[in-house]
Amino acid sequence: MDAGHYAWVQSRKIALAGLAIVAAQFSVNIGAAFAKSLFPLAGPAGVAALRTGTAAVILVGIARPWRRSLSGRQILWIILYGLVLGGMNLLIYWAFARIPIGIAVAIEIGGPLSVVLVTSRSARDFLWLALAVASVLLLMPWPGWHARLDPAGVAFAMGAAVCWALYILFGKRASEVESSTAVALGMTAASLVTIPVGVATAGSRLANPAIWGLGVAVAILSSAIPYMLEMKALERLSSRLFGVLTSSAPAVAALAGFVLLGERLTSLHWIAVLLMIGASAGCSLTSRPAASRVVDEAII
């Protein structure tokens, strides 16, 4: 194979990996829109329980973690990783119930962004910090604003952002274990958070077979498909390119919310979403490699 043909093949593989990341973003957010459409039937907590419970069964079946021996320390980190994952799922679904999906994701992505900024030593990152702060300020439910958001929805999204930041830190420790095992056990631990809350709030509504069918679809769209696509894409993409592509998450979420749920954002909200995308993309491009890898762990 000559050099020109080799370069063309490599470029094609990178392009396909980039398309896989974009497809993963759409899958996640279409799953989020479907999940929100189920809220009237089972409530946000009930849908979160269905998603994490179903995803745990699927992932445990694939990974078969019982074949591996884990130390007590490894189990502890996986449990902590799973508990914050469960909290993140509950909080972001509670946010989805009160504010548009695109805005909730824009606030939530501040969690991994804050971890990147804390681990970075670049003076230029103060610019991205300023963009992120400006975005959050524009999304705050200030009294008298015509674009005022539900305060509880904003608070839940910010709580999800905190959980996402902790998810990165605990996930880094849990990654000492083989990835599929860590994710399967972590999702199982997450179900220990979501299922009791879901059962307590949704009760007998969770016994509806129609809800279970849609819950499986949400789990596959929001967890199984994106995970497989991203794992495959990471074999070809650099950390920074991966971070830039995944920075589009709030825009994709807003598009999914508009097309599937009829959610419309004001001009002010769109400015805030674009500022957060700019802050996340900028961090991915300018932060040192160690910080850049944190973005990978955050988005997966």
- Summarised one tens digit per residue, pLDDT across range 44-71 is 999 999 888 888 888 888 878 777 777 7
Count structural domains, the chain: 1
CB 29 within 8 A of CB 256: yes
Note the pLDDT tens digit of each residue in 250-293: 888 888 888 888 888 888 888 988 988 888 777 777 654 444 44
Q: What's the pLDDT score for residue 197?
A: 93
pLDDT of res. 119: 67
Distance CA(17)–CA(235), nearest Å, equals 8
What pLDDT sits at residue 195?
Answer: 92
pLDDT of residue 8: 56
Residue 237 has pLDDT above 80, yes or no: no
Can you spell out the DSSP letters for the chain? --HHHHHHHHHHHHHHHHHHHHHHHHHHHHHHHHHHHHHHHHHHHHHHHHHHHHHHHHHHHHH-GGGS---HHHHHHHHHHHHHHHHHHHHHHHHHTTS-HHHHHHHHTHHHHHHHHHH---TTHHHHHHHHHHHHHHHS--TT-TTPPPHHHHHHHHHHHHHHHHHHHHHHHHTTS-HHHHHHHHHHHHHHHHHHHHHHHHGGGGG-HHHHHHHHHHHIIIIIHHHHHHHHHTTTS-HHHHHHHHTTHHHHHHHHHHHHH-----HHHHHHHHHHHHHHHHHHHHS-HHHHHHHHHHH-
pLDDT of residue 296: 43
Higher pLDDT, 27 or 129: 27
- What does the pLDDT read at residue 44? 93
Domain residue limits at 53: 3-299
Mean of pLDDT over the chain: 79
**Section 4-20 average pLDDT:** 63
Task: Please give the share of the chain, as a percent, with pLDDT higher than 90.
Answer: 16
Distance from C-alpha of 185 to C-alpha of 178, rounded to nearest angstrom: 11
The residue that leads in pLDDT, 131 or 236, is: 131
pLDDT in tens, 135-182: 888 888 777 666 678 889 999 999 999 998 888 788 777 767 776 777
What pLDDT, on the 0 to 100 scale, is given for residue 86?
Answer: 92
Q: What is the pLDDT of residue 7?
A: 59
Least confident of 27-41, 156-170, 233-247: 233-247
Pairs from 286-293 (Cβ < 8 Å, separation ≥ 24): 286/122, 286/124, 286/125, 286/128, 287/116, 287/119, 287/120, 287/122, 287/125, 288/120, 288/121, 288/122, 289/239, 290/119, 291/116, 291/119, 291/120, 292/116, 292/239, 292/240, 292/243, 293/239
Q: Which residue has the higher pLDDT, 177 or 37?
A: 37
User: In this predicted structure, what is the pLDDT of residue 192?
Assistant: 92
pTM for the structure as a whole: 0.82
Is residue 297 predicted with pLDDT exceeding 60?
no
> Of the segments 63-72, 125-134, 194-203, which one has the largest average pLDDT value?
194-203
